[in-house]
Structure 1
Amino acid sequence: MITIKNVTLRRGTKIVLNSTNATINPGEKVGLVGRNGAGKSSLFALLNGSIHEDGGEFFIPPQWKMAQVAQDMPETDQSATDFVIEGDTVLLEAREAVAEAEASDDGMAMAHAYMALHDAGEHDAPARAQALILGLGFSVAELSNPVNSFSGGWRMRLQLARALMCPSDLLLLDEPTNHLDLDALVWLEAWLKRYEGTMVVISHDREFLDAVTNVTLHIDSAKLVRYGGNYSKFEDMRAEQMLLQTASLAKQADKIAHLQKFIDRFKASAAKAKQAQSRVKALDRMVKIAPVLADAEFQFEFKEPNNLPNPMLSMLNTSFGYPPREDAPAGAESTVIVKNINRSVLAGQRIGILGANGQGKSTVVKTIAEALTPTHGEITKGKGLTIGYFAQQELDVLRPIDTPLEHMLRLVKETPVNMRPSGNDCREQGLRNFLGTFNFGGEMIHQQVGSMSGGEKARLVLCMIVWQRPNLLLLDEPTNHLDLSTREALGVALNEFEGTVMLVSHDRALLRAVCDEFWLVADGAVEPFEGDLDDYQVYLLDQAKRAREAASAAQKKLAA
C-alpha cells in the first residue's frame, strides 16, 4: 500500500500539497486529476523518487518494481524491437547474470543463471515486444527499423512500449495518450485493463480515464481528495458537492440557464431529429455537470456566422496528398494519400473524421483548409465560406517569436475588410479586450508564443478562430493540450455553434458530444462510416488482431 500522511510538497516557493493524506491500495487503477499547475507532476515525482516530501510521511513498499515512460527523446540506432526489449529490466538483469556466470566458468552459477533467464522470458521477448509495438500503431515493416529513423511522436510511442514491457508492481503514466491516435488508444485501453499491478495515470481524456481507472485522486487547493470510481463518477460527486457551496450557486445557475435556453430552442426545431437529439443529449449531460464547467479556468463561445452557404463545399473525383519534395528529381509525381473523393459538406453538419494513423485524416483537413493543394481535381467552395482551422501542430499557424497581440494585429491585416468583425474588435484596444476573454491579460499579450505552454498556444489558436467568425470549423486534434474542464467547455461551445464542424480527435467524449455522423479515411478512400464510436472501436480491435496475426505469421516464416 502507498500511504501519504500529512505530506507537504513545495516546488520553489509554491506549496503544491499542504499537509494532505491519501492511500493507494495494491491493484488499484488511479486517475490523478486537477487543474494545470495543481501539482499532478509533482506528486508523480514524489512517487518515482525524483523528489522527497518537505513534511509528513510518505511510504511506498520498497520491494515494488516501478515502470514509467521516460520523457527523454531516445537517440539510438537500435532496432525498434531491441529498444523495447531493453525495457524489460528483469530480463536485462538475467542476461547480465548469464554473462557473469559464463565469465566465471562456474557450472552451477551458469545453470542457475540460464534457468533465471528462461523464467524472465528470453524465449518470447521479441514476440512480446513486437506485440506492444504493433499495438501502438507501427507496421510490421517497421519492427526492425532503427529508432532514430522515426519522428519524435513515434519515438515517444516506443518509450511507452518500453515502459509496458517492464514487469512492474507500480505503473506511472503521465499523459500516455498525447502521441496516440484512436486506434492505438483503444489498444492501450485493452492492455491496461489486463494489467495486474497498481497504476497511477494523469490524462485529460475522460473516456480513457473512465475505461482504465477505478479510483480518482483530485488535487484541489493543495489537498488530495480520494473518490471511489472513475472520472465520470468523480465528476458527478464533485458536481453535487459544488452545488452545496452557496458561494458558487449564482454562477452555476447562470451557466445552467444558458445551456437550458439553448436546449429549449433546439428542441423547438427538432424536425432535424438526428442533429437535434444528439446535441440535446450531450447538453443535458453538460447541464448536469454545469458546476464543474462553471469552475473551469477558461470558457468561450463561437459567434454566430454571418452566413451559412449550402453546400459549404463539394469534392468531385478529388485526390489529396503531398507534392514532391524540393530535392526530388524533375518530373517526380505527387504522393497521393486518398483519391476519387465524391463528397459534399452541408450547412450544419457535424462530421467526425475517423481512420488509423497514416491513412490521411490530417491530409483531408489540411487540403480543405487550403494548407495543401488537391493532387487531382478541385474543391468547389460555397459563396461566403469562412474557414476556422485548428492545426494539429499549433505552430503550423503560430509564429514562435510573435506575441498574442502581434498575432491578432496581423490577423486583422490579413482578413479582407468585408469579412472583419465590426466596431472596435479590429482596433488595438478591442483586440486587447478580446484576448482578455481568452485569459491573455496583462503582460501575457506581449509574451513570445514560443515560450508559452501547449495549453496557452491552443487557447491562442481558438481565440484567433473565434475572432474570424467562421462558418466551417476544421479541427485537427484540438484537445491535445487542453485540461478536462476546458475540453468540456470546448464541447459546449461546439454544440452551440451554428455552422459546420469537421473534427479529427482521439477524444471520444468530444466526438460523441459534437458529431452526428462519421467519415472513415481508410485504404485510400473517404467513405461514410455506418455506425457509432462503439462500432468503430470494435472495427479497430479487429484490425489490430489481424495485424498481430500477420506479424506472428511473418515471424514463424522467418524462423522456418
Structure 2
Amino acid sequence: MITLKSVSLRRGAKILLDQATATLNPGERVGLVGRNGVGKTTLFALFDGSLHEDAGEFSRPATWRLAQVVQEMPSSGLSATDFVIEGDQALLAAQRQVQLAESEGSDGERLANAYLALHDAGAHDAQARAQALILGLGFKTIELNNPVDSFSGGWRMRLQLARALMCPSDLLLLDEPTNHLDLDALVWLETWLKRYTGTMVVISHDREFLDAVTTVTLHLDNGKLTRYGGNYSTFEETRAQQIDLQQNAYLKQQEKIAHLQSFITRFKAKATKARQAQSRVKALERMERLAPVLTSADFTFEFKEPANLPNPMLVMNNACFGYPPPVDAPAGTPPTVIVQRVNRSVMAGQRIGILGANGQGKSTLVKTIARALPCSSGTISEGKGLNIGYFAQQELDVLRPHETPLQHLLRLAKECLPTGQGDREQDLRSFLGTFNFSGEMVKQTVGTMSGGEKARLVLCMIVWQRPNLLLLDEPTNHLDLATREALAMALNEFEGTVMLVSHDRSLLRSVCDEFWLVTRGGMEDFTGDLDDYQRYLLDEAKRIRESLRESLKCENRPPRRLPRSGGDSGTPGKLKTLQREQGHIEKRLLDLQQEQHTLEARLSTPLSAQELADSGRRLNQIALELSALEEQWLTLSEQIDRATPSVPS
C-alpha cells in the first residue's frame, strides 16, 4: 500500500503538504481532487519518486511497477504503433535479454529463460494490443503506421496516454487524462480503466468521469489530505454535510466563548465572583478552538442579454462542410468534404449538443458556421444582426502570450466599437474583475498563466462581445470543476442560442435539450439521451476492434493471386514464373505460421531448459523469416501487376 505519515512538502516558500496523512490500498481507484494550485500534480511527483518529502514518512512498495503519462510533448520518428509498444517496459527488457543471451552464445538454460520471459511479456500480441489502444483513443486505422511527429500536439498526447496504458503496472498515475479526448475516446477510456486491476490515482475536473472510474476520493485542501469512501458525487455530499456540521459547531462554540468572556468581563473585579471568573478563564484556555469554515469563493458570471435575436439564426441549405485544398495544390483541386448535404435551421433559443465519433466532422461544422472555414458547397444564410461568440478547441493558441488581459480587452474594444467609443480602461478593469482577474493579474502576461486562467480570459472576451449565438467547441478542457459549473449556470441563463461540442457529459446534460449526430458523412437527429449515445459509441469501438483483428489475420495470410483473363502481353513465361514463385512463398508462409502456433502452444507446457531454449530460438527465427517472406511476396505482387495484361474493354 501507499502510506503518508505526517508528510510535509514544500515548493519554494509555499507549503503544499502540512503533516498530511493518508493510506491508499492495493487495487483502489482513487480520485485526487482539490482546487487548482493546491499541489495535486506535485503530490504525483512524490508518488512517482521524482520529489521527496521534506518531513514525515512516505512509502510505496518497491516492487510496484509504475505507469504514468509523461506530460512533455513527445517527438519521435517511430510509427504510432511502435511508439506505443515501447511503453511496455517489461517487453522491452525481455527483448534486450534475448538479444544479449543470443549475442553472448549463452547456455541452453539462460536462453530458455530469456525466450520464456519474452513469451510471458506478450511479444506475440504486442502489436495487436498497441493498435487496440491507439484505435480506442480515436485514431484511424490508416494512421497506425504514421510517424509520431506527423501528428498535432493533442494527438501526440493521446499517444502518450496509449503508451502509459500499454505498460503493465501496479500503480497508474493519470493527470487530467481526458483533456485531449473527444467523447467517444473518453467513453472507451472509462471502459478500459474499469477493467484495470492495479492501484490507480487520477486527477480530473470531469465529474462524470470521476464518478465512473473511482471508488475512493482523496481531497487535498489547505495542505491536508482527507480520504473519503466513494466517488466524486459521494465525496461532494459527504463534504457538504461535514461543512454544515463544522460551521454549526463553530457558531455554537463562538456563542459559548462570548458567554464565558462576558461573565469574566463582568465579574473578574468582584471578590465574591473572582473564583468563578478564574475558572472560566481556565476553561477558555483549555478549549480547543474550532476553525471557521473557509471555502473558496464561488466563481460566477453571466452572458449579457443579446442586443437582438434573429429568428432563424441561420439556415443551412444543401450545405457541405470540409477543408479547402492546400495552397500548393494544383489548380482545380476540389475541397475535401467531410459532412455533406445538410439542410437545417438554427432557431433563437435552441440548445443543441453536437455529437459524433472522432473524425466525423463536428469541429469542421462548427468552424464553418463560425466563418473560420468556407462552406464547401451549398449555402449558410445568416439572420440579420447575427453576432457569434466562438470558443474554438485551439482558442487558447490565439491569445497573445506577451500581452496582458487588460491589453487583450483594450484591443477587442478598439476593434468592436466605433472610433472614439471604446470602453474606459477602468470599466474594462472592472469587467475583468468579474472573471477573477483583479489587482495585478490584469497586468500579468498571458504566457505566464495556467491553462484554466487562459480559458477564463477567452470566456471573458466572448461575454464582453455580447453574442446571440454561442459556438463552443470543447470549452471545458482547461477549466476546473467550479468554473465548469459557473459556465453551465451562465449557459442555462443565456437568452440566445447555444451549439455545443463537448466531452463533458455533465455540461451536455445540464445545457442541451436536443442533440445532432454527425456521422458517416451526414447529420441526423439523435433521439436518445447521452446514455444511449455512450452505448452507440461502445458498439462502434467494438466494430472497429473486430475489423482490426480481421485485417491483422489477412496480413498474416496473403491471398493467392489468380491470373487475370485477357490477352497475351508477350511475356507469358515471365508471368507464369512470377506466379509460381509467389505460390511457393505462400505455401512457405502457411507452413511457418502453423509451426509458430504449434511452438507457442508448446511453451505453455512443462519443458526442459534445453527444449525451452530451442523453442524460443526457433520462434525468433520464424519471426525473422516471416517478415522477409512477406516483403518478397509484396515485391512479387507488384511485379505480377506490371506483367499482367489489362482486361480488354
TM-score normalised according to structure 2 size: 0.77
Q: Point out the more displaced range, 217-226 or 142-151.
A: 142-151
1:406 pairs with 2:407: yes
Q: Alignment partner for residue 430 of structure 2, among 421, 428, 433?
A: 433
Aligned partners of 1:309 and 1:383 also within 8 Å: yes
Paired amino acid for 2:148: V
Aligned partners of 1:296 and 1:485 also within 8 Å: no
| Structure 2 match to 1:87 | 87
**What SS does structure 1 have at the residue aligned with 2:378?**
coil
1:551 pairs with 2:548: yes
Distance 1:247 1:400, change over 3 A: farther
Distance 1:402 1:329, change over 3 A: farther
Shift, 1:400, TM fit? 2.7
Shift, 1:416, TM fit? 4.5
Q: Distance in 2 between matches of 1:77 and 1:154?
A: 15
Aligned partners of 2:396 and 2:455 also within 8 Å: no
| Structure 1 match to 2:646 | none
Distance 1:416 1:373, change over 3 A: farther
Paired amino acid for 1:143: L
**What SS does structure 1 have at the residue aligned with 2:180?**
coil
Q: Point out the more displaced range, 140-149 or 130-139.
A: 140-149
How many residues align? The count is 515
Paired amino acid for 2:154: G
Shift, 1:126, TM fit? 1.0
Distance 1:293 1:212, change over 3 A: farther
| Structure 2 match to 1:232 | 233
Shift, 1:397, TM fit? 4.3
Paired amino acid for 1:6: S
Q: Distance in 2 between matches of 1:249 and 1:356?
A: 51
1:470 pairs with 2:467: yes
Cα shift readout 1:283-337 (whole Å, capped 9, x = no counterpart): xxxxxxxxx9984553211122222221111111111222222222222222222
Shift, 1:67, TM fit? 0.6
Runs of 5+ in structure 1 lacking a partner? 251-291
Paired amino acid for 1:400: P
| Structure 2 match to 1:282 | none
Shift, 1:450, TM fit? 2.6
| Structure 2 match to 1:338 | 339
1:325 pairs with 2:326: yes
Runs of 4+ in 1 over 3 A off after TM superposition: 243-250, 292-297
| Structure 1 match to 2:534 | 537
**What SS does structure 2 have at the residue aligned with 1:209?**
helix
| Structure 2 match to 1:284 | none
Distance 1:20 1:76, change over 3 A: same
| Structure 2 match to 1:278 | none
Q: Distance in 2 between matches of 1:311 and 1:40?
A: 46
| Structure 2 match to 1:13 | 13
Cα shift readout 1:443-471 (whole Å, capped 9, x = no counterpart): 22222323322111111111111112211
1:522 pairs with 2:519: yes
Shift, 1:363, TM fit? 1.2
Cα shift readout 1:56-104 (whole Å, capped 9, x = no counterpart): 0101111111111122222222221111111111111111111122123
Q: Distance in 1 between matches of 2:170 and 2:185?
A: 23
Distance 1:293 1:558, change over 3 A: farther
Distance 1:296 1:160, change over 3 A: farther
Query: 1:155-234 counterparts in 2 under 5 A?
Result: 155-234=156-235
| Structure 2 match to 1:270 | none
Query: 1:116-135 counterparts in 2 under 5 A?
Result: 116-135=117-136
1:499 pairs with 2:496: yes
Distance 1:198 1:526, change over 3 A: same
| Structure 2 match to 1:484 | 481
Q: Distance in 1 between matches of 2:92 and 2:508?
A: 42
Cα shift readout 1:504-555 (whole Å, capped 9, x = no counterpart): 1010110011110111111221221121111111111111111111110000
Cα shift readout 1:409-450 (whole Å, capped 9, x = no counterpart): 2222222559x9x9xx82211111101111112222222323
Q: Distance in 2 between matches of 1:380 and 1:56?
A: 66
| Structure 1 match to 2:65 | 65
Q: Share of identical aligned residues, percent?
A: 72
Q: Distance in 1 between matches of 2:40 and 2:67?
A: 17
**What SS does structure 2 have at the residue aligned with 1:320?**
strand
**What SS does structure 1 have at the residue aligned with 2:376?**
coil
Q: Bigger radius of gyration, 1 or 2?
A: 2
Q: Distance in 2 between matches of 1:304 and 1:293?
A: 34
| Structure 2 match to 1:258 | none
Q: Distance in 2 between matches of 1:315 and 1:377?
A: 8
Query: 1:279-294 counterparts in 2 under 5 A?
Result: none
**What SS does structure 1 have at the residue aligned with 2:343?**
strand
Shift, 1:403, TM fit? 2.0
Q: Distance in 2 between matches of 1:52 and 1:87?
A: 25
Q: Distance in 2 between matches of 1:199 and 1:427?
A: 51
Query: 1:308-387 counterparts in 2 under 5 A?
Result: 308-387=309-388
Q: Distance in 1 between matches of 2:166 and 2:294?
A: 38
**What SS does structure 2 have at the residue aligned with 1:377?**
strand
Paired amino acid for 2:415: E
Aligned partners of 1:387 and 1:473 also within 8 Å: yes
Q: Distance in 2 between matches of 1:451 and 1:39?
A: 18
Q: Distance in 2 between matches of 1:294 and 1:249?
A: 14
Aligned partners of 2:396 and 2:458 also within 8 Å: no
Paired amino acid for 1:383: K
Aligned partners of 2:321 and 2:337 also within 8 Å: yes
Q: Distance in 1 between matches of 2:443 and 2:451?
A: 17
Paired amino acid for 1:495: N
Q: Point out the more displaced range, 167-176 or 102-111.
A: 102-111
Shift, 1:152, TM fit? 1.6
Q: Distance in 1 between matches of 2:433 and 2:249?
A: 22
**What SS does structure 2 have at the residue aligned with 1:163?**
helix
| Structure 2 match to 1:31 | 31
Aligned partners of 1:30 and 1:199 also within 8 Å: yes
Q: Alignment partner for residue 440 of structure 2, among 443, 446, 452?
A: 443
TM-score normalised according to structure 1 size: 0.88
Aligned partners of 1:45 and 1:51 also within 8 Å: yes
| Structure 1 match to 2:145 | 144
Aligned partners of 2:318 and 2:341 also within 8 Å: yes
Distance 1:539 1:70, change over 3 A: same
| Structure 1 match to 2:583 | none
Distance 1:42 1:247, change over 3 A: farther
Q: Distance in 2 between matches of 1:114 and 1:392?
A: 47
Q: Distance in 1 between matches of 2:399 and 2:101?
A: 58
Cα shift readout 1:144-171 (whole Å, capped 9, x = no counterpart): 2222222221111111111111111100
Q: Distance in 2 between matches of 1:326 and 1:438?
A: 40
Q: Distance in 2 between matches of 1:413 and 1:219?
A: 43
Cα shift readout 1:383-428 (whole Å, capped 9, x = no counterpart): 222211111112354233322112212222222559x9x9xx8221
Aligned partners of 1:293 and 1:485 also within 8 Å: no
Paired amino acid for 1:404: P
**What SS does structure 1 have at the residue aligned with 2:8?**
strand
Cα shift readout 1:10-48 (whole Å, capped 9, x = no counterpart): 011100010011100010000001111001011000000
Cα shift readout 1:227-262 (whole Å, capped 9, x = no counterpart): 100011111112222334549999xxxxxxxxxxxx
Cα shift readout 1:94-115 (whole Å, capped 9, x = no counterpart): 1111112212321111011111
Q: Distance in 2 between matches of 1:248 and 1:345?
A: 53
Paired amino acid for 1:78: L
Q: Alignment partner for residue 460 of structure 1, among 440, 452, 457?
A: 457
**What SS does structure 2 have at the residue aligned with 1:426?**
coil
Aligned partners of 2:470 and 2:497 also within 8 Å: yes
Aligned partners of 2:175 and 2:203 also within 8 Å: yes
Distance 1:363 1:293, change over 3 A: farther
Q: Point out the more displaced range, 431-440 or 374-383.
A: 374-383
Q: Distance in 2 between matches of 1:248 and 1:380?
A: 62
